[in-house]
Amino acid sequence: MNVCNTRKLLCAAAIGGLAGTAHAQSSVTLYGLIDGGISYVNHAENASGGSSSLVKFDDGINGGNRWGLKGAEDLGGGYKAIFTLENGFGLGDGTLSQGGALFGRQAFVGISKSGVGAFTMGRQYPFAHDYLNRYSTGGLTAGDAYMYHINTLDLLTSVRINNSVKFDSVRMYGFKFGAMYGFSNAAGQFGGSNGVDGDGGSSRTYSFGVDYRNGPFSMGFAYTDITYPLQEVPPLKLTLANLEPLGERDLRSYGVGAKYQFGPALGYALWTNTRLENLDHSAATLNIYEGGVVYQVNPAIAAALGYTHTQVTGSATGTWNQVNSSVEYSLSKRTSVYVLAIYQKASGSNDGVPVQAQIGKTTSYFGNSGSDAQNQLAFRIGMRHRF
């Protein structure tokens, strides 16, 4: 009887050991970011269309508020099953972001292979986000949402592609590359339809990019084209400050960025070109030039100064010049406080209507500057915590 019990115990221990090994080959990680603070702008459009100063609680500025799950299962032979589910939310009112989607920031599943790369499927970022965002003021500093380009029409942030498949390689000899395709999910429209005779086409997207790193130097290139239907809610808000609409048929954007680490100083530059085509085949083109420096004063303090020039030509015209500055102090590896100061000046007019200023990647932050002003000056003090 004792021998039998001993065998049972040994068998149970062996099974438990195998289960522990299998569990060790899989992982699920909970992560997130929470940002909140107080912001001020001198000119925000009021109910009468003019401008007034505004002081407000604002959140999700130094990174969008989020929580997410990342998982991986070792399949053997260098293969892994991977997934990411990421939720966005508003800190001030607790509501869901991204139109109320549960996992609106990201939702994908796929397979990765060591030495090759990853193939994923779901709701994902285009390569402008993956390969160009890291060379922008918004991507490199605490300014983030206030310092990205107006309405992010060059797709650096906030834009995700539904129903997409994506491949992203590992880095080889300093290079990595990737490509994605977003399905229209419409019968007979695998390649998408640009629309004819006033009817919008069926949504489809393709995007690709290349990134290179060598010591302190890196640079990236990305190209994205989106064709979408007029009848459905478009994947992008096609407005630029008080200019609208700027495109209902097709959006094509490409750009190149670079950065170099000079000791404690990081210099960066970025150029993007975005073409927004209307159903009548007229088009507006945005050229955005950006550059700046991030200086690590000491291990806890980073200061940044940048400049962005936006020029719109074609079916709509306008010019925006913006100066960005920030200082971020790290209280720990996961928590920081920061201050921002941004000034933007707009110039030009369309059909006799002056172009307005708009600090922030959408109008949800400060709105336009109002009909009686073509500039905005904004300040912010905030706190960010990662987990």
10 pLDDT more than 60: no
4 pLDDT more than 60: no
CA dist 102 and 105 (Å) reads 9
Instruction: Return the minimum-mean-pLDDT range out of 17-26, 60-69, 325-334.
Output: 17-26
pLDDT in tens, 176-204: 999 999 998 877 666 665 554 444 455 78
271 pLDDT more than 50: yes
Q: Could you count the other beta carbons within 10 Å of the beta carbon of residue 320?
A: 27
CB burial of 340-358 (b: ≥16 within 10 Å; e: otherwise) equals bbbbbebebeeeeebbbbb
Q: For residue 246, what pLDDT is reported?
A: 75
**What is the separation, in whole angstroms, between the first and last Cα of the chain?**
52
Summary mean pLDDT of the chain: 89
Which among 179, 139, 103 is positioned nearest to 148, based on CA atoms?
139
pLDDT in tens, 202-214: 578 999 999 999 9
Band the pLDDT of 229: cuts 50, 70, 90.
low
Q: For residue 242, what pLDDT is reported?
A: 83
Band the pLDDT of 353: cuts 50, 70, 90.
confident
CA–CA distances in Å: residue 192 to residues 11, 41, 180, 227? 59, 42, 14, 7
pLDDT in tens, 130-161: 999 999 999 999 999 999 998 889 999 989 99
> How many C-alpha atoms does 154 have within 13 Å on its Cβ side?
30
Q: For residue 202, what pLDDT is reported?
A: 56
Band the pLDDT of 230: cuts 50, 70, 90.
low
CB-CB contact of 140 with 122 (8 Å): no
Q: For residue 151, what pLDDT is reported?
A: 87
Domains along the chain with CATH numbers: 45-61+124-160+173-386 (2.40.160.10)
Q: For residue 14, what pLDDT is reported?
A: 42
